[in-house]
Structure 1
Amino acid sequence: MIYPENFENKIGFTQIRETLTKICLSPLGQWFVNRMQFLTRQDLVLKLLHQTHEFKAVLAAGGDFPTQYYFDVTEHLNRAAIENTFLDVYAFYEIKMSLRTIRQALTFFSQAEPGQYPYLQTLGEAVIVDRNLIAALDKVVDDNGQVRDNASPELSRLKTDLIHQQGVLRKQIQSVLRNAKNSGWTNSDAEPTIRGGRIVIPVLAEHKRKVKGLIHDESTTGQTVYIEPDVVFELNNDIKDLENAYHRELIRILTHLTNHLRQFIPELRKAYQYLGLLDFIRAKAIFANRIEATLPTVQKLPLIKWNNARHPLLFLNFLAQGRQVVPLSLYLHPEQRILLISGPNAGGKSVALKTVGLVQYMLQCGLLIPVNEGSEAGIFEDIFIDIGDEQSLENDLSTYSSHLQNMKQFVVHAGRKSLGLIDEFGTGTEPQLGGAIAEAVLDKLNQQKVFGVITTHYTNLKHYAEKTVGIVNGAMRYDVKELKPLYQLEIGKPGSSFAIEIARKIGLPQEIVNKAGKLAGHDKIRYDRLLEELEAEKAELEKRNRELGIQERKLKQSVKEYSDLKEHIEESKADILLEAKHKAKLLLKDTNQQIEATIKQIKDSQADKEQTKLARQKLEAFTAEKVKPEVRAVKRNAVTDNRELGAGDYVALIGQDSVGQITAIKGKTAEVMFGDIKTIVKVANLTRTERKSNRVKKEEAAKSHQSLNLTQRLADFNLTLDVRGQRAEDALTKVMAFVDDAVMLGIPEVKVIHGRGNGILKQILRDYLRSVREVASVSDEYVERGGDGVSVVVLK
């Protein structure tokens, strides 16, 4: 049961019907749109949903599914079913082209992979389109809707004779017309024309007696008459006879073709029903793509478990304005059946209620619904709604009386499998009595195990929901600082109307606001203030959580960088120690040999004073060369040059082996690049050098090795990164590393696949990408390649 009768108008489903009607390609599909109705059988609902879901896949694949010639030939078939009648040429053209479309659709699904489109393949199993019938139609009518000249041998002969006679006639009439022009009997720009099916020439009225022939007509002014010259009488008669014969032969062919078609009419009716269904399902699939609808898990029992549900009409409206709808997530089950939503006016309560009614109605009419993947939905046998002002002057019903009439219907007819939607519950009369009656009705509905969504401002109903099993409070969130709605549904706590706060914010005189607070009572003000404080604390907590999330991501990045650096140092440390030990070993060996040679020289000279002195000098020279290489390196590399140091010169710190290059001189200091590190050094501590140090050579060798590594990384780099289904934090980390690699490797363009979903992941990733200096632009991929589910990133 759907209550009231104008339910579809109230929730906006009429607009969805109108949209689907516009998307349909023909009246065949529009007929099914008009017949779309609320279903209570799970198997039927699932069948319709899967058909649409599969057609979404057809559209996404971008295959050669036919989308032309969806003609409604119902009237042609009705006429052909009558004995001794025949269809005209254009009727056969529409039948031929639409039958060809049906065959193409059947072929499309028959050639698909097994199990790819099971529901759509089943839809066409009983459809038969005789190939010989299409061939017979094609023999008579071409693809432009014209009769073929060779439709029959007789028709071909008559057509040839007719063309020949018309050619002779044109020559004759042109000859007569030239003579009339030369004689001044007609205007110089006159041309032959047709009157009464006969070819004639226009002659000035004053010369009509000078042209022998039959007058067929005259102009409105009477200045021109149209004469059929006597020399073409017989030719015109012959042409008329040929035309009549041609027409008779054509009727014979069309009658024969109609008789042939008549025997296929029962099969053709099924085929065109199939074509209409395809048109209807295609329209539903296109609409589902527009509103980003998905296929939820459908349970047999009443249930609502929606993730990020959007009002489809509001979604389309906002999309056109470049805005986003705030989604709502909702979970109603047997232990928590009724949601009582409170909050300020214009905060989104009614939109939330209409979203529930419209989305559930769409589902049970076989339409995919705008919720995120992983959502679940159930089947209800009834949907009742009480929304808007039903005041009637004719029936003498007040607004409140109309609400009570609706409550009566709810209480009498609603049950365990019913969904009740009530907007502004209890309003329209004295608040205390209205609140009491509303609480009693709510208690009755709860006893009857009814599912529902109810909006209200009444505090007694919020208290009742708080302490009653089966009912849960919900609030439309509100920014208490800015006093503006957030349109976010939060389940688990009631909301405040913020009436006093809004009155104060807009500048209502303070004495009025204070008196209103006293009249409302201390308890009421305290209750609303607590709700206000809760909202403010929640907003502050969410803000801190976001900041902590950002800090946590930064910390993880820093930890990673620190770990990488530590790992690099540990690896380098082992190599350096190994090399140092090896050098020390060689140095020790050379030193021992030199000492032994010195001792031997002293012994051989029998400690001669001069020889001993010479041996010591030699040993000291060896020590200076081996033990203090850095000093020797400076002396070796130093250049005797009196020129002042300048930008571009290679220099070394006095007493150090590191060689750098001056980038700038500022007074007595210089900016020197030692590798990738810029250092400010006093010019007096620098000495010019011609060649680079061993360390610089090693760095260059390392860079060369790194270049080889980059070449390998470039070959292994994947231009596309897929982060669908990942948490925003993990996805952002991967995108950061992905973009860094692309920039380092000089890649001009990359792609990030994040999917559509509710758009949050896409927004986070695109905000980051647009903040990167090396990113030139971020845009959507082509629709057939993923559309806004893929970001194309162009790098500078």
Structure 2
Amino acid sequence: MLYPESFEQKLGFDKIRELLRQACLSPLGQTYVEKIRFSENFQLIEKMLRQTAEFKTIVQYETDFPSTNYLDIRPQLEKARIEGFMLTEEEFFDLKLTLRTIQQCLRFLDDDRRQSYPYLAEQAGIISVDKKLTDAIERVIDDRGKVRDSASPTLADLRRRIISEQAGLRKKLDGLLRNAKQQGWVADDVSLTIRNGRMVIPVAAEHKRRLKGFIHDESATGQTVFIEPAEVFDTNNEIRELEYEERREVHRILRELTDTLRPSLPDLHRATTFLGLIDFFRAKAKLALQLNAELPALVNQPMVDWQGARHPLLHLSFEKQGKKVVPLTIRLDSKQRILLISGPNAGGKSVSLKTIGLLQYMVQCGLLIPVYEGSTAGIFQNLFIDIGDEQSLENDLSTYSSHLMSMKSFLTLSNKRTLFLIDEFGTGTEPSLGGAIAEAILEQLNASGAYGVINTHYTNLKMFADKTPGLVNGAMRFDGEHLEPLYELEIGRPGSSFAFEISTKIGLPKAVIERAKEKLGTQQVNFEKLLKELDIEKRVFSEKNMEVSINQRKLAQQLAETTALQTRLDNEQKRILNDAKQKAKALVAEANQRIENTIREIKEKGAEREQTKQVRQQLEKFEKQALRTEVLVDEPKPQAEEEYTLESGAITIGSYVRIKGQTAVGEVLALKGKDVEIRIGDLKSNIKLARLEKVSRKAYRDATGESAKPKMTGIDLNEKMMTFSFNLDIRGKRGEEAMVELDNFMNNAIMLGYPELRIVHGKGDGILRNLIRQQLRTFPQVAGMHDEHADRGGAGVTIVKMK
């Protein structure tokens, strides 16, 4: 149920209807625009929204869907229904073009695309056009809209004879015209012409008696007459008779074709209805693209959960001016059903109210709405609005009386599936009385379980909402320092009217403002002042919290990098030691082999046992020396503690310290009980006090060598994480340019560890899509890839799953 009767006009849906009407290609689609109605049937609403979303995809990405010859042939079909009636050549030509468009639509939605566009394919599944009928029309009507010569043997013979007679007639008339020119009866530049369907010669009026024949016409000045020479009377008559016979034959053919058409009228009516629906769906899809509208998630319960909602008409108006609408984020659910919006005048309260009402109405009329992806729309049984002035001289209603009449209807008809919208709640009468009545009405509306949004300036309503379950305050944000509206809705706190501040800004005398504050009383003034200060402080603390959060993430990243660096250094040191030991063992093994070879040679040469024993002892000594030498050379020497000059005394802020058992030295930045914050180079870390020992400033300089060492720079992962988007749009890019962007995008994604990526490349001929997928296969971190869902781009978007 809708309230009041002027619901559409108050919200501006009549203008949405007009935009849809203009987007239609024919009266067929415009008929369905007029039939748009509010519905509470969940299945029907979902079906209408899905059909529109599918057609939006077609308009965006499919170039072969027919977009011409959406003709209204309903009058022709009604005429053909009557026995004995005959359709004309023009009417059959419109029918031919329309049936061709319908067949193209049906071919587009055949089995190959049924999976991509299931809701549209379902609509097309019940439509059939008899191929025998279309072939019959094609055999009779040509592409100029005329009956073909081959439509019947008789017609072909008649037209051949007409052409032959006309050729003979022209030959005679050409001879007569040449003779008239030689006699000077006609000018040299005169040619044959047609009057009353007969070929004639233009003759100067003073010579009209010299050429025998019948005068058919004369020029406007009377200086030229058009004469049919007597010599061609019979030929012209013969041609005229043949033309009559041709016309009768054409009529016979068209009558027979109309009779052939008549049995198929029910199917043709259904096909025409289908074409009108396609035109209607196309208009809704075109409007959705104009509005950047999306299909929200739909739930069969009262609910509003919109991200980035924009008023459609305001969006179009701002787009022409090169401006952007500030989006609205709002949620109404079972816990917070009624939202009270407060704030200064001209701050956007009424626009927010109308945005909520218009978008909810559009959803339940089957139209996509301008919200961000991830939004959810519920279904309401009733939509009630009280916006604007309904005063009436005829009914003796004042402004306030009209509001009370609306409130009476709201209280009587509201239930748990009602959404009501009230602008300037309680105004129009004495403020204290109006506020009390408004609070009582709000209490009853809350008890009914209805959902709603209310704009108000009354303090008592703000306080009532703050302490009543089911109600929540909201404020249109306002820059209290510069006294400018921000047009942003903030839910969870009431807003100030900023009446005194705005009065000061526009130049109202200071004495008047101070006197007004005295009259208002300190309690109300302090309440408004507190709201203003809270708004400013909240914005300042929000900025500070953001800054602190960024710094904490940077610190955590730096500590992680320090730990990783220390681990790498330890592992590298172990690897070097192991390599050195392996080299030493290899050297010893080689020496042993040489020793054995030497001994074998000695034995073969008959050397004495004592000499051999001495040689073996010397070689063993060599082995020990070689192994010890190898290890000492390759193994890094631990830093001698004598290289650092230790200092006595307690460790304080600014002291230079060394980590016990390590070579790292640093400066103390802060003391936190038993923990010490130190800086080692560009890195900061927290170390237990017991693990540190104090060193001299000279030892710190010698160890760090700050003047000689270049500062290291790294990648700011926090900044990358804040600026990186998982969505890459490379539509319209050349192949090489696209590959460079893709490589940079993938490198950043791998570095940041994103699990899923989205690459928009469009459909076209599929060349860019193939290049991108070939390049993605070169990344070992890619686990797989597939097309996006048809509702969100289909084959024009690649989803990349990362390992």
Same-fold status (TM-score > 0.5): yes
Which amino acid is 1:432 matched to? S
1:746–1:42 CA distance, 2 compared to 1 (3 A): closer
Range that drifts further, 315-324 or 89-98: 315-324
Match of 1:379, SS?
Answer: coil
CA spacing shift, 1:4–1:87, aligned 2, 3 Å: same
Matched residues in 1 for 2:157 and 2:310: separation? 67
For residue 503 of structure 2, what is the aligned residue in structure 1? Answer: 503
Q: 2:446 matched to 1:446?
A: yes
Report Cα offsets for 1:730-770 as digits up to 9, x if no partner: 4735789999xxxxx9987425999xxxxxxxxxx9xxxxx
Determine the structure 2 residue equivalent to 1:320. 320
Match in the other structure for 1:165: 165
Aligned match of 2:406: 406
Please give the per-residue CA displacement for 1:126-175, whole angstroms capped at 9, x wherever unaligned.
Answer: 22210101000101112332322211111111222222222222232233
State the 1:12 CA deviation.
1.1
What is the CA–CA distance in structure 2 between the aligned matches of 1:80 and 1:503, rounded to whole Å?
Answer: 73
- Cα distance, 1:278 vs. partner? 1.4
CA change 1:530–1:387 in 2 (3 A) is same
Partner of 2:723: 732
Q: SS of the counterpart of 1:373?
A: coil
Separation in 2 of the partners of 1:131 and 1:176?
A: 53
CA distance in 2, matches of 1:238, 1:308: 78
> For 1:482, what is the secondary structure of its paired residue?
coil
- Partners of 2:439 and 2:117 lie apart in 1 by 50
- 1:390 is matched by which residue type in structure 2? E
Mapping for residues 729-768 of structure 1, pairs under 5 Å: 730=721, 732-733=723-724, 749-751=740-742
What amino acid sits opposite 2:163 in the alignment?
A: I
Inter-partner Cα distance in structure 2 for 1:443 and 1:327: 30
2:347 maps to 347
Cα 1:486–1:262 change in 2 (3 A) is same
Q: CA deviation at 1:311?
A: 1.6
Q: Quick one: structure 1 residues 507 and 555, their matched pair in 2 at CA, closer, same or farther if it must change by over 3 Å?
A: farther
Cα shift readout 1:607-650 (whole Å, capped 9, x = no counterpart) = xxxxxxxxxxxxxxxxxxxx9xxxxxxxxxxxxxxxxxxxxxxx
Corresponding position of 2:636: none
Superposition pairs of residues 596-615 of structure 1, within 5 angstroms: none
Distance 1:566 1:255, change over 3 A: farther
CA distance in 2, matches of 1:480, 1:207: 97
Q: Please give the alpha-carbon distance, in whole angstroms, between the structure 1 residues aligned to 2:738 and 2:560.
A: 25
Matching residue's letter, 2:467: K
Match in the other structure for 1:111: 111
Q: Percent identity?
A: 51
Taking the aligned partners of 1:30 and 1:411, their CA distance within structure 2 comes to: 37
Contact 1:28 1:279 in 2 (8 A): yes
Q: CA deviation at 1:442?
A: 1.5
Question: Is residue 247 of structure 1 aligned with residue 238 of structure 2?
Answer: no
SS of residue in 2 equivalent to 1:519? helix
Q: Is the 8 A contact 2:310 2:326 kept in 1?
A: yes
Q: Residue in 1 aligned with 2:539?
A: 539
d(CA) in 1 for partners of 2:289, 2:728? 32
Question: Following TM superposition, by how much is the alpha carbon of 1:680 offset from its aligned partner in structure 2, in angstroms?
Answer: 9.8
Residue 426 of structure 1 aligns to a residue in which SS? coil
- Asked whether 1:43 is paired with 2:43, we answer yes
Whether the 8 Å contact between 1:474 and 1:494 is mirrored in structure 2 is yes
Q: Report the secondary structure of 1:475's partner residue.
A: strand
Deviation string for 1:467-502 (max 9, x for gaps)?
Answer: 222221111111111111111111111111000111
- Segments of 5+ residues of structure 1 without an aligned counterpart are 590-626, 628-678, 682-726, 740-744, 755-764, 766-778, 792-796
Mapped partners of 1:790, 1:484: distance in 2: 42
1:281 aligns with 2:281: yes
Distance in 2 separating the partners of 1:49 and 1:575 = 65
- Contact 1:65 1:108 (8 Å CA) reproduced: yes
5 Å matches for 1:166-181?
166-181=166-181
Instruction: Give 1:535 shift.
Output: 0.7
Whether the 8 Å CA contact 1:169–1:235 is kept in 2: the answer is yes
- The DSSP-based 3-state class of the residue aligned with 2:150 is coil
Determine the C-alpha separation between the residues in 1 that align with 2:526 and 2:83: 85
Aligned to 2:96: 96
Secondary structure at the aligned position of 1:185 is classed as coil
Alpha-carbon contact 1:362-1:368 (below 8 Å) kept: yes
| Residues 306, 371 of structure 2: 8 Å contact kept | yes
State the 1:575 CA deviation.
6.2
1:302 and 2:293 equivalent? no
Q: Distance in 1 between matches of 2:728 and 2:286?
A: 37
Cα distance in structure 2, aligned partners of 1:351 and 1:136: 58
In the TM superposition, what are the counterparts of 1:637-648 in structure 2 within 5 Å?
none
Counterparts in 2 of 1:466 and 1:160: CA distance versus 1, 3 Å: same
Distance 2:737 2:569 in 1: 28
1:125 maps onto 2:125 in alignment? yes
Q: CA deviation at 1:376?
A: 2.4
Separation (CA, whole Å) in 2 of partners of 1:145 and 1:566: 86
Instruction: Specify the alignment match of 1:432 in structure 2.
Output: 432
Q: What residue number does 1:686 align with?
A: none
Q: Does 1:387 align with 2:390?
A: no
Query: 1:513 aligns to what SS in structure 2?
Result: helix
Amino acid at match of 1:293: A
* Aligned-pair CA distance for 1:348: 0.8
Partner SS for 1:389: coil
Q: Report if the CA contact (8 A) 1:751-1:790 is conserved.
A: no
Secondary structure in 2 matching 1:391: coil
**Do 1:340 and 1:455's aligned partners in 2 also have CA atoms closer than 8 Å?**
yes
CA contact (8 A) 2:38 2:365 kept: yes
Matched residue of 1:278: which SS? helix
Q: Over aligned residues, Cα RMSD in angstroms?
A: 3.7
TM-score, normalized by length of structure 2? 0.73
* 1:311 to 2:311 alignment: yes
Matched residue of 1:112: which SS?
helix
**How does the TM-score come out when normalised to structure 1?**
0.73
Equivalent pair of 1:343/1:496 in contact (CA under 8 Å): yes
* AA matched with 2:185: W
**What CA distance in whole angstroms lies between the structure 1 residues aligned with 2:109 and 2:79?**
32
Deviation at 1:420, TM superposition (A): 1.0
Equivalents in 2 of 1:50, 1:736: separation in Å?
A: 24
Deviation of the 1:550 alpha carbon? 4.7
Please show how residues 9-48 of structure 1 align to structure 2 within 5 Å.
9-48=9-48
Deviations 1:437-485 (A, max 9, x none): 2122212222222211110111111111112222211111111111111
- Aligned amino acid, residue 475 of structure 1: A
Distance 1:146 1:737 in 2: 54
Moved more, 234-243 or 321-330: 321-330
Moved over 6 A (4+): 578-589, 734-739, 745-748, 779-787
| Cα contact 2:728–2:760 (8 A) shared by 1 | no
8 Å CA contact retained: 2:389, 2:399: yes
Matches within 5 A, 1:545-694: 545-548=545-548, 550-551=550-551, 573=573
Aligned twin of 1:600: none
Residues 567 and 401 (structure 1), Cα distance of their counterparts in 2 relative to 1, 3 Å cut: same
Distance 2:479 2:797 in 1: 34
Asked if the contact 2:4–2:385 (Cα under 8 Å) also holds between the matched residues in 1, the reply is: yes
2:54 aligned partner, one-letter code: E
**Aligned residue number for residue 602 of structure 2:** none
> Per the alignment, in what secondary structure is the counterpart of residue 209 of structure 2?
helix
Distance in 2, matches of 1:737 and 1:32, equals: 39
Distance 1:747 1:78 in 2: 57
Distance (whole Å) between structure 2 residues aligned to residue 88 and residue 581 of structure 1: 104
Q: 1:456 is matched with which residue?
A: 456
Distance in 2 (alpha carbons) for counterparts of 1:371 and 1:441 = 32
Matched, 1:81 2:72: no
Per-residue deviation at 1:397? Answer: 2.5
Matched, 1:64 2:64: yes
- Count of matched residue pairs: 637
Distance in 1, Cα, partners of 2:40 & 2:369: 17
Q: SS of the residue aligned with 2:151?
A: coil
**Structure 1 counterpart of 2:712:** none
Cα shift at 1:578: 6.5
Give per-residue Cα distances to partners, 1:228-266, cap 9 Å, x unaligned.
122222221122112111111110010000111111111
Tell me the SS of whatever aligns to 1:384: strand
For 1:513, the aligned partner's letter is: I
Q: Are positions 1:222 and 2:222 aligned together?
A: yes
Q: Distance in 1 between matches of 2:262 and 2:725?
A: 66
Q: Is the contact between residue 727 and residue 760 of structure 2 (CA under 8 Å) also seen in structure 1?
A: no
